Structure 1
Amino acid sequence: MARSESDHMLVLSLGRNGRASYPERPWEEIEPVLRRVWEFDGRLRAWHDVRADVQAAWHAHDARPRRERRRTSATGQVSRAV
């Protein structure tokens, strides 16, 4: 895998996983957290070069129809909710 391809996969993963970790939080609140994660590895491109792609991956969740999600209830049982 070429470096630019692996960087692109990291960008997409950061946006998607950030959204999955903080589904109820707005982008403006979570962007500083994602930026610190990205900048932790100094070998990567600058945040301003990848910010738009990370934000697009974050917002891609908004455009998708809601799918069933697995939720864990207080009892620890997994239930399905729409």
Structure 2
Amino acid sequence: MSLKQTFYKVRSSKIVQGILIANIFAFLIIGMQSSLLPKDVGVLVFSEFVIIPMLMGIIMAWCWKVLLSQAPLLEGQCLKRAIKN
């Protein structure tokens, strides 16, 4: 497999897309917050610890909704095969 094919496969992966989109969103929000409110240097705001990670999780879950909906089916198939053998 060539490097170009490998890069395309990684880029089109839903897991990678979810992680990248959520992290880019978080960096943008924190960057805007620090540039718009530079008064309190070194003060960490509640949103940096609670709200932004929660939004990152929601974004990742939305990107992974196809993968998460298939998980119970895979678990059921594995259980059937384990009992069958």
Give the TM-score normalised by structure 2: 0.37
* Higher RCO (CA-CA < 8 Å; seq separation 6+): 2
Which has more strand, going by share of residues? 1
- Which is greater in Rg? 2
User: Could you say which structure has the higher helix fraction?
Assistant: 2
